[in-house]
Amino acid sequence: EKGGYDHFMMKEIYEQPSVIKDTYRGRLHSNEGLIKMAGIEDNLEKFTNAQRILIIACGTSWHAGLVAEYVFEEFTRIPVEVEYASEFRYRNPIINEKDVVIAISQSGETADTLAAIKLAKEKGAFVFGVCNVVGSSISRESHAGAYTHAGPEIGVASTKAFTTQITVLTMIALRLAQAKGTLSKSDFHRYLSELEAIPEKVEEALKTNEVAKEIASVYKDATNCLYLGRGYNFPVALEGALKLKEISYIHAEGYPAAEMKHGPIALIDEQMPVVVIAPKQGHYDKVVSNVQEIKSRSGKIIAIVTKGDEQVRNLADHVIEIPETSDALSPLLTTIPLQLLSYHIAVMRGCNVDQPRNLAKSVTVE
Ligand code: M6R
């Protein structure tokens, strides 16, 4: 049942190339320059006329929502807000019929997310669900939706659900950008072919497993860990930290790299591992100076870089190389080594990777 892997989590990490493909198959037609998703086509005007898109989710799905915020705003110029479902539902939110709500949930059963979309519907908003489990409560409660095709996710730590959520949300953003004319034709076509090339590149990113394992053996006894990223990779930093916390019980925090100087930099000493997400595209020079700041305070740097990178390599204690892609799609690749790193650390610490303490796969309590 674990397909030869020791844990479901590892099996699910390795399924990502194929489930990302399953998620765009039949929807993304790069030769014809088309994205077709029934739930979007049937409601295209609602989306293109939206005064705002509100994304509601919890946990890892909330992180996928944050990535989507960057992608939607860049591609479609529609203002986006991302909210924790649990906060949204308890604060008399300002929302009306001109808002489109996207609810993201792997299980489709998360109680807070379900309650939040019921509230949004009462207030007249159009609710679009992005769920993995077919026929789940959230998918039924939404006006329309698009499924991720990740297949069953058993490990409590969400992995393939995250990357397939990003895949669906990126396709939606691209389709809306096409309809609104907010992305040039050439950029639109370039993104379609780049998205199509992602599974192969994820496959390559998975080859970092051995390096990730080596690095894990160095830091398995750490008590704290920082994750830094900027732009599209800031949510990936949050997700990397969440993954480490939930399965290895090491305290970890994700931060936008530029926020370091506003507080967290005080934590840095030779005991502190800092995972820096520094792909070539996207604020690279800024991230390099953040890396220098950590280095001068003797922090231990684990950097996720684009293949062939030299500048960060010269400063970092460890590097993990991933293939090149455009900035907006990079979270689909930068996430992979972070999943592997947490996995190996948790295994080395003797933790129950698939069923971490105090956690359940779907949180149906409020
Ligand atoms: O099923 P959902 O996507 O609604 O679940 C949301 C969170 O409970 C979930 O992502 C949780 O944070 C995971 N354990 C993260 O790995």
Mean per-residue pLDDT for 241-258? 97
pLDDT band at 97 (very low <50, low <70, confident <90, very high): very high
Summary count for the chain: helices (H), strands (E): 15, 12
In the structure, what pLDDT confidence band is assigned to residue 34 with cuts at 50, 70 and 90? Answer: very high
Confidence at residue 29, expressed as pLDDT on a 0 to 100 scale? 97
Mutate to test the pocket of ligand 1, among 7, 12, 56, 60 (most ligand atoms within 8 A of CB): 60
Residue 36, by phi and psi: left (phi above 0), alpha (psi -120 to 50) or beta? Answer: beta
Give the model confidence (pLDDT) of 143-196 as tens digits. Answer: 999 999 999 999 999 999 999 999 999 999 999 999 999 999 999 999 999 999
Place of tokens 């790299």: 257
Amino acid 330: pLDDT: 98
Distance 58 CA to ligand 1 centre (A): 6
170 three-state secondary structure: helix
Q: How far apart are the first and last CA of the chain?
A: 32
| Chain mean pLDDT for the chain | 96
> Strand 99-105 vs strand 144-147: parallel, antiparallel, or unpaired?
unpaired
Alpha carbon nearest to ligand 1 atom 7, residue: 59
Give the predicted TM-score (pTM) of the model: 0.97
> Containing H/E element for 215?
helix 209-219
- Looking at residue 366, its pLDDT comes to 84
Angle between helices 59-76 and 160-180 (to 10 degrees): 20
How much distance in Å is there from the Cα of 148 to the middle of ligand 1?
14
**Going along the chain, which residue ranges are E strands?**
28-29, 34-35, 52-57, 80-84, 99-105, 126-131, 144-147, 224-229, 251-256, 273-278, 300-306, 318-322
Buried/exposed 61-84: b ≥16 CB within 10 Å, e otherwise: bbbbbbbbbbbbebbbebebebbb
pLDDT band at 365 (very low <50, low <70, confident <90, very high): confident
Q: What is the pLDDT of residue 122?
A: 95
pLDDT band at 283 (very low <50, low <70, confident <90, very high): confident
Q: Any residues with Cβ below 6 Å from ligand 1, and which?
A: 58-61, 105-107, 110, 113, 156-158, 242, 246, 359, 362-363
Give catalytic residues, as residue numbers.
361
Atom 12 in ligand 1: which residue has the minimum CA distance? 59
Q: Ligand 1, residues 110, 134, 354: which to mutate, most atoms within 8 A of Cβ?
A: 110
Nearest-angstrom CA–CA distance, 3 and 329? 29
pLDDT at position 311:
94
Nearest CA to ligand 1 atom 11: 59
Task: Tell me which residue has its CA closest to atom 14 in ligand 1.
Answer: 157
Q: How many CB atoms lie within 10 A of CB 111?
A: 17
The tens digit of pLDDT for each residue in 290-332 reads: 999 999 999 999 999 999 999 999 999 999 999 999 999 999 9
Measured in Å, residue 81 CA sits from the centre of ligand 1 at 19
**Residue among 8, 55, 61, 361 to mutate when testing ligand 1 (max atoms within 8 A of CB):** 61
- Return the ligand 1 atom nearest residue 133 CA: 1
Q: How far apart are CA 322 and CA 308, in angstroms?
A: 9
CA of 60 to the centre of ligand 1 (A): 5
281 pLDDT exceeds 90?
A: no
Q: Which atom of ligand 1 is nearest to the CA of 243?
A: 16
Spacing, Cα 5 to ligand 1 middle (Å) = 22
